């Protein structure tokens, strides 16, 4: 076999080899394309379902804040006023728009169009300013979620009446109101100012947001110092021996343990053994802290490793003790990297729900928690709860809650990236 | 110092025919006006050089002078570096290396390469040598491939040492053996030219001696272009030598002449250990 | 009370810091020499003060509640004391709610006011005991520390040793957490295995954990054969891996070997976004988008696909682990030395030949390690399956069936109100133990392989 024949052989095969090359490259491009398509479908699906939740159908009513309904004995006492018949006020104003409706059945159908939040809104207004009693004011009041869904086009009016939750006559009423131009889609402040509710038009994420914030602060206060301290020990002090190897194996494994196992730990130790309250942000924060702790260690070690040994030598060389070297020189240099990794770990903790379900955070909680010991929801768990609710109105609420959750995650990650870019030192 | 260098470089322009070889030898590879840029930086300036059949030509010069860059132009390995741009005329037996007709796969099959650090694939000794013939489809039967592997290992002087463990990993060999394995891997596809990038710099003197002996034998069949840092190695194995300085090719000639009576001041300084 | 105690202790610490520091400065003035900077003496003294006080506070927080509760139970009338555990807990909760002022059902028994007063009085007593004893003890230790301050006393070394100890114990926490997980899950699981045979659990073929509430209730036999759960978990994880491994691996290869900076600049953030999406969100996506879509496609080709099919869940889980596979493979592929690539190119290999015949074989151990880690993530994943997979245990390997998984059952068994000691609840811990041991095994092997691989090329 001489050289020129080899050239010929190679030449002969070249075409098929390049075809294979191109095919292989196309596989790679296809994979990236698939990943991008997934992301696009994902965001279109969530946003298209969720953006409507930021608006809510409201009606403009001229309500008469009559003493007879609110404070018949004219006590002027807030405690009395609190129990006034505010629904009655709303209904009276509403019936006035339909003078022809007389029968009890029709009136009931009318009442169903209004949200029970309407009366509560008036109650809050009145308690804030008692002098309003006796006056007549125009107010925007929320409509029922079924009406909201109808107006957003989520209910098929061509279906037979029995298979939808809104009747023909109710649809008719709404048409009349629309002609009077007193129904409008207003920005849904309730979503951001109230806790959970069984009625989707009154449900909000404030309780869940506060719960998540309380939990994350506890997580950060525990996991961050503990993780950084452990990382410093392992990087700067630890001798090379079997015991330290064992600790390292432990840390790496802990970072990969399924989150639900941490939930079981929390349930068995914090709730059953130590008797801490269920559904409390304190327990949630502790469980998430244990989960985030190895992540902080791993990030901190990487950051400490990137500080060159010459810095240590320089500090030790001028007579600083080891601890002084660490606190005065190494830690300040490694801190941006440590923070970046920790924030990313915290973002993961914010999105975590499985361990929280284990410690009972799936309870239905209306109130906004005011301390880490109160029962509370958390943002991702709220998503889970709403996703499980059968009412149509909750589908868009779920998507909206997801959008809020993703926004927070995005903010945290951007903060991490910003920190990294601003303070990163290339050695 | 820099000014002196500049002055000396300018002086070089008198030898315009630098790099050509006497017509009595057959030219395998020739390079005209080679310029290489890494982004904005010019790494090589107007290099002209010819490589003849059955000769070893040594590229010498201080580190960072562009020897390795030049070597990697000859089999277009610089193509894999995004920021690298090469201009000039390169030809292999009359064919333009950088033209669109020249296939880079075929080119690299015809121009073999041995690297500074031995880089056997993490496969068996046999698979390492068989890799080239296999991807190019050179052999048609298992028996033929076996023979080719044996032959290549034999030529590289490795067969005796490894014949009873030919299926053990290539990485299990010593450094010198690994480098000879890489040479066997290169000659298994019968290239016209073998490029060697400081092939002995990572080896001990005994392994170096073996490789040098091997190069002496190989030059009967192949043209060899070798980058080396060791002046004595260049003197021992090469017939011609080319001295590079800061991206310029200063002087080319018979090794003996370069070492005993260089024409250029810079070459003289380098040979006598005053620069580099 | 907790906050109040902390503030008091903090204030004392601050005061002691300055007192001791001043003392050290005075010693320096007298002797003209002091071993450490004065602030170290301040830290030294406040440390001596705070350690015993914090210990007492810790004891208080751990044991006060159970101590008061047992005293309370003893003080209750005989008829209440003899109630069943559940009812007693209810009464105690009522008393506690009443005691903190939450208006609650006072009709449960007449003397609730009396019991609540007793409860409050007990707590008041304990609070004052804790406050005074901790302060007295703290001050005693402080006086000892104050008197030990001399010019030659090495306060800095003392503080540094304390900090070192703090660092070391932080590292030990990792062991405690692992041990905590193992023990807590193991204890409950062992109680479960007292009732249910271990091999019946591991190899049993039917799972229906409903225990009879009344005697002789039909269909509530309480079968705890976990095989269908293991099968379901494996089926869903396999589907996920079948999607994620090729796509993740090819993406990593393309990004590290072919893509120019522009493609990389777009694709990397996309993968990072995919990996940052919470799993509960993936679960919702599976329920409202993917499952209906798959059902629809199935009906087009005449297949009746369950709306909670393993296929839909597996696909979404696959999307979730694509970034994991891709980033792990990326690390591994880019750690293959450049010299191997050049050696292959130098012989005239094309890029894909180099990748397939040199880079991938060289990177294989690392890639396998990465896939094992991804498998462990898929097996332990909870929210996607809880929301989108089935509840009933069916031993099936058909991807269009609805199957259930280990994690789904853990969640179902532990949510809702039930007694903590029933086999049903304990079964969750047995499942948790299995899950923990299995994923631990996978992680351990995977990390070992990856580590060994890295060392090879370092």
Which tens digit of pLDDT belongs to each residue from A169-220?
Answer: 888 888 888 888 888 888 888 888 888 888 888 888 999 999 999 999 999 9
Which pLDDT score is estimated for C102?
Answer: 63
CB-based contact C177 A293, cutoff 8 Å: yes
**Is B92's pLDDT higher than 70?**
yes
- A296-355 pLDDT, tens per residue? 999 999 999 988 888 888 888 888 888 889 999 999 999 999 999 999 999 999 999 999
A124 or B181, which is more confident? B181
pLDDT of residue B15: 44
Residue C105 pLDDT > 70: no
Q: Please give the residue of chain B at the shortest CA–CA distance from A11.
A: B106
Do residues A371 and A209 touch, judged by C-beta distance below 8 A? no
Which range is least confidently modeled, A309-313, B127-131, B178-182, C90-94?
C90-94
Residue A264 pLDDT greater than 90, yes or no: yes
- Between residues C354 and A77, which one has the greater pLDDT? C354
Contact B108 C348 (CB under 8 A): yes
Question: What DSSP string runs through B21-49?
Answer: --TTSPEEEEEEEEEEEETTEEEEEEEEE
Name every chain C residue with its beta carbon within 8 A of the beta carbon of B82: 260
Is A127 within 8 Å of chain B by CB? no
**Global confidence as pTM:** 0.84
Helices A206-232 and A331-350 meet at what angle, rounded to 10? 140
Residue whose C-alpha is closest to residue A146's, from A176, A111, A122, A119: A111
Would you identify the CATH topology of the domain C221-456? MetI-like fold (1.10.3720)
Chain A contact present for C409, CB below 8 A: no
| Inter-chain residue contact A260 with C380, CB threshold 8 Å | yes
In this prediction the ipTM stands at 0.88
A39 touching chain B per CB within 8 A = no
Q: Please give the average per-residue pLDDT across A140-153, as a whole number.
A: 85
Chain A residues touching residue B109 (CB < 8 angstroms): 6-7, 10
Angle subtended at Cα A147 by Cα A142 and Cα A150, rounded to the nearest 5 degrees: 140
- Chain-chain contact of B137 with A3 (C-beta, under 8 angstroms): no
Q: What residue spans define the domains of chain A?
A: 3-51, 55-197, 206-423
- CB within 8 Å: C411 and A354: yes
**How many beta-carbon pairs under 8 angstroms link B with C?**
70
Chain C contact present for B105, CB below 8 A: yes
Domains annotated on chain B, with CATH = 26-120+191-271 (3.40.50.300)
Q: Tens of pLDDT along C353-395?
A: 999 999 999 999 899 999 999 999 999 999 999 999 888 888 8
Average pLDDT (C384-408) is 89
Which of the pair, C416 or C200, is modelled with greater confidence?
C200
| CATH number for the domain running over A206-423 | 1.10.3720.10
Pairing of the two strands B223-227 and B56-60 = parallel
Q: Determine the Cα–Cα distance for residues A295 and A254; give it in Å rounded to an integer.
A: 9
At residue A168, the pLDDT reads 83
pLDDT value of residue B182: 93
Per residue in C1-24, pLDDT (tens digit) is 667 888 888 999 999 999 999 999
Beta-carbon contacts of residue A40 (< 8 Å; ≥ 6 apart)? none
Residue A147 to residue B114: CA distance in whole angstroms: 78
Residues facing B241 on adjacent strands: B58, B253
Tens of pLDDT, residues A238-250 = 998 899 999 999 9
Domain boundaries, chain C: 2-153, 221-456
Crossing angle of the two packed helices A86-97 and A104-112, in degrees rounded to 10: 110
pLDDT tens for C44-87 read 999 999 888 888 888 887 788 778 888 888 887 777 777 777 77
């Amino acid at each position: 076999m001489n050289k020129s024949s080899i050239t010929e052989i190679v030449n002969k095969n070249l075409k098929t080899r390049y075809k294979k090359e191109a095919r292989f490259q196309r596989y790679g491009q296809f994979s990236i394309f698939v990943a991008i398509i997934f992301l696009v479908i994902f965001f279109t699906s969530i946003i298209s379902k969720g953006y409507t939740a930021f608006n809510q159908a409201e009606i403009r009513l001229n309500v008469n804040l009559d003493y007879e309904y609110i404070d018949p004995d004219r006590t002027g006492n807030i405690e009395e006023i609190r129990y006034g018949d505010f629904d009655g006020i709303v209904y009276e104003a509403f019936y006035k728009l339909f003078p022809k409706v007389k029968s009890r059945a029709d009136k009931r159908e009318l009442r169903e169009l209004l949200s029970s939040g309407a009366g509560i809104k008036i109650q809050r207004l009145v308690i804030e300013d008692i002098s309003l009693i006796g006056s007549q004011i125009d107010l925007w009041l929320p409509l029922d979620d079924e009406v909201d869904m109808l107006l957003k086009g989520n209910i098929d009016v061509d279906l037979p009446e029995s298979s939808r939750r809104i009747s023909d006559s109710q649809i008719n009423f709404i048409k009349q109101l629309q002609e009077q131009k007193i129904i409008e889609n207003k920005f849904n402040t309730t979503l951001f100012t109230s806790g959970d509710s069984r009625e989707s038009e009154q449900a909000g994420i404030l309780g869940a947001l506060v719960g998540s914030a309380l939990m994350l602060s506890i997580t950060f206060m525990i996991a961050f110092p503990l993780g950084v301290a452990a990382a410093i020990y392992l990087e700067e002090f630890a001798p090379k021996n079997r015991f330290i190897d064992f600790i390292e194996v432990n840390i790496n494994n802990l970072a990969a343990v399924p989150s639900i196992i941490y939930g079981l730990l929390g349930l068995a130790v914090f709730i059953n053994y130590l008797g801490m309250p269920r559904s409390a942000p304190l327990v949630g924060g502790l469980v998430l802290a244990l989960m985030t702790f190895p992540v902080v260690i791993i990030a901190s070690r990487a950051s400490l490793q990137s500080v060159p040994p010459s810095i240590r030598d320089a500090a030790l060389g001028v007579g600083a003790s080891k601890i002084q070297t660490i606190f005065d020189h190494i830690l300040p240099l490694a801190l941006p990297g440590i923070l970046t990794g920790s924030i990313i770990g915290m973002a993961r903790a914010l999105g975590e729900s499985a361990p929280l379900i284990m410690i009972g955070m799936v309870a239905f909680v209306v109130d906004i928690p005011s301390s880490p010991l109160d029962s509370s929801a958390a943002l991702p768990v709220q998503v889970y709860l709403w996703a499980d609710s059968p009412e149509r109105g909750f589908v868009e609420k779920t998507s909206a809650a997801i959008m809020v959750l993703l926004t927070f995650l995005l903010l945290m990650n951007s903060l991490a990236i910003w920190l990294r870019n601003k303070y990163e030192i290339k050695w | 110092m820099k000014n002196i260098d500049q002055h000396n470089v300018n002086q070089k322009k008198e030898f315009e025919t630098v790099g050509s070889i006497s017509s009595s030898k057959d030219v395998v590879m020739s390079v005209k006006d080679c310029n290489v840029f890494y982004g904005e930086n010019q790494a090589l300036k107007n290099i002209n050089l010819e490589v003849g059949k059955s000769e070893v030509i040594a590229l010498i010069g201080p580190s960072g002078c562009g020897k390795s860059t030049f070597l990697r132009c000859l089999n277009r390995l610089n193509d894999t570096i995004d920021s690298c741009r090469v201009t000039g005329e390169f030809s292999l037996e009359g064919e333009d290396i950088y033209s669109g007709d020249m296939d880079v796969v075929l080119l690299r099959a015809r121009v073999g390469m041995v690297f500074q650090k031995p880089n056997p694939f993490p496969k068996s000794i046999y698979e390492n040598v068989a890799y080239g013939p296999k991807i190019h489809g050179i052999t048609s039967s298992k028996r033929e491939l076996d023979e080719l592997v044996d032959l290549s290992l034999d030529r590289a002087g490795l067969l005796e040492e490894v014949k009873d463990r030919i299926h053990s990993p290539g990485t299990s060999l010593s450094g010198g053996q690994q480098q000879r394995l890489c040479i066997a891997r290169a000659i298994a596809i019968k290239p016209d030219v073998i490029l060697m990038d400081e092939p002995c710099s990572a080896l001990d003197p005994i392994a170096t001696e073996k490789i040098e002996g091997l190069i002496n034998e190989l030059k009967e069949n192949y043209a060899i272009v070798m980058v080396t840092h060791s002046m004595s190695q260049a003197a021992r194995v090469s017939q011609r030598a080319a001295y590079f300085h800061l991206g310029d090719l200063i002087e080319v000639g018979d090794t003996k002449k370069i070492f005993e009576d260089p024409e250029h001041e810079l070459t003289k300084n380098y040979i006598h250990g005053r620069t580099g | 009370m907790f906050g109040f105690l902390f503030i008091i202790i903090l204030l004392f610490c601050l005061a002691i810091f300055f007192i001791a520091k001043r003392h050290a400065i005075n010693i320096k003035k007298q002797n003209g020499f002091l071993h450490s900077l004065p602030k170290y003496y301040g830290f030294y003294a406040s440390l001596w003060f705070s350690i015993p006080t914090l210990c007492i506070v810790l004891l208080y927080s751990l044991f006060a509640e159970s101590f008061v509760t047992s005293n309370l139970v003893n003080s209750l009338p005989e008829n209440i004391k003899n109630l069943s555990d559940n009812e007693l807990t209810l009464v105690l909760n009522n008393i506690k709610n009443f005691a903190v002022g939450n208006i609650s059902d006072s009709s449960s028994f007449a003397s609730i006011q009396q019991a609540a007063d007793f409860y409050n009085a007990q707590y008041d007593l304990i609070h004052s005991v804790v406050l005074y004893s901790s302060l007295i003890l703290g001050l005693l230790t402080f006086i000892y520390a104050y008197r030990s301050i001399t010019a030659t006393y090495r306060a800095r070394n003392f503080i540094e040793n304390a900090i070192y100890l703090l660092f070391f114990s932080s590292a030990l926490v990792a062991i405690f957490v692992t041990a905590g997980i193992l023990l807590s899950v193991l204890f409950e699981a062992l109680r479960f295995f007292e009732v249910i045979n271990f091999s019946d659990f591991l190899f049993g073929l039917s799972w229906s954990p409903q225990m009879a509430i009344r005697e002789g209730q039909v269909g509530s036999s309480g079968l705890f054969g976990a095989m269908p759960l293991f099968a379901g978990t494996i089926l869903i994880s396999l589907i996920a891996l079948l999607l994620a491994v090729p796509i993740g691996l090819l993406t990593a290869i393309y990004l590290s070997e072919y893509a120019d900076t522009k493609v990389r600049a777009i694709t990397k953030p996309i993968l990072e976004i995919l990996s940052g999406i919470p799993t509960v969100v993936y679960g919702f996506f599976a329920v409202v988008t993917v499952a209906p879509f798959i059902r629809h496609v199935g009906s087009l080709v005449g297949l009746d696909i369950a709306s909670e099919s393993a296929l839909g869940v597996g696909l979404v889980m696959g999307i979730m682990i694509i970034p994991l596979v891709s980033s792990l493979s990326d690390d591994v592929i880019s750690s293959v030395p450049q010299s191997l690539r050049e050696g292959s190119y130098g012989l005239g290999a094309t890029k894909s030949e180099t990748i397939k015949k040199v880079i991938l074989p060289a990177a294989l151990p690392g890639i396998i390690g990465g896939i094992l880690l991804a498998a462990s993530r898929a097996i332990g994943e909870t929210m996607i399956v809880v929301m989108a997979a089935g509840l009933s245990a069916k031993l099936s390997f058909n991807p269009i069936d609805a199957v259930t998984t280990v994690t789904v059952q853990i969640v179902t068994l532990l949510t809702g109100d039930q007694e903590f000691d029933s086999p049903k609840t304990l079964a969750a811990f047995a499942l948790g133990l299995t899950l923990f041991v299995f994923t631990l095994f996978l992680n351990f092997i995977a990390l070992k392989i990856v580590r060994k691989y890295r060392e090879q090329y370092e």
